[in-house]
Amino acid sequence: MATKEDVDFDSKPIDDNVLTDEKNYPVTGEEDGLKVRAGGMQRLDNSNKPYPTKLGIHGTTVAVDWDGCIADGSCMDVCPVSLFEWKLNPGNSGTGNDKKVEKGTPEYDQYRTDKTNPVRESECIFCMACVTACPVTAIKVTSA
Ligand code: F3S
Ligand code: F3S
């Protein structure tokens, strides 16, 4: 688990238009059965500095901005249907169970911290607990 002070970027809340703004958030691929938007694209953080990662937005119904996610883990603790898993510690979830990413490794260059992966997003019951819990507002949930 990291805090805002531990990371070298200033997380920007996930864009409200992430599903509709196809210019800035085109679908760029798929990973773990989830759509990825703006993967590989340089975006700016809350201080208007380039994010150090280009991971993009993972998931659609439950969309997580992986460039802003700091591995807090609260989203997992509060989700009543346990639909999240850690990307780098698959099959595991919850605060403190993220894989620690060491500085100076290729994994650090790519991810900075572990990321929450909404692998079972189709099971969402739209309680919005994760949206409220995330300290950096990295999650946007959209009911169909
Ligand atoms: Fe879980 Fe968030 Fe949906 S807490 S049920 S993913 S709104
Ligand atoms: Fe990431 Fe926020 Fe969850 S920082 S791990 S999306 S609580």
CB 89 within 8 A of CB 70: no
Q: What phi, psi does 29 have (nearest 5°)?
A: 170, -170
User: What is the value of pTM for the model shown?
Assistant: 0.97
Q: How many CB atoms lie within 10 A of CB 41?
A: 15
Here the tokens at position 87 are 């990307």
Which ligand neighbours the alpha carbon of 93 most closely? 2
Residues 23-50 have a mean pLDDT of: 98
Architecture of domain 1-144: 2-Layer Sandwich (3.30)
pLDDT tier at 5, thresholds 50, 70, 90: confident
Q: Verify whether ligand 2 is closer than 6 Å to residue 38 (CB atom).
A: no
User: What lines the ligand 1 site, CB under 6 Å?
Assistant: 62, 78-81, 83, 124-130, 141
CA 71–ligand 2 middle distance (angstroms) = 5
Residue 49 identity (one-letter amino acid): K
CA 136–ligand 2 middle distance (angstroms) = 7
Q: What is the pLDDT of residues 60-96, one digit of tens each?
A: 999 999 999 999 999 999 999 999 999 999 999 999 9
* Per-residue model confidence (pLDDT) at position 2: 76
Quickly list H helices, 23-128.
74-78, 106-111
pLDDT tier at 13, thresholds 50, 70, 90: very high
Q: What is the pLDDT of residues 117-141, one digit of tens each?
A: 999 999 999 999 999 999 999 999 9
CA 107–ligand 1 middle distance (angstroms) = 28
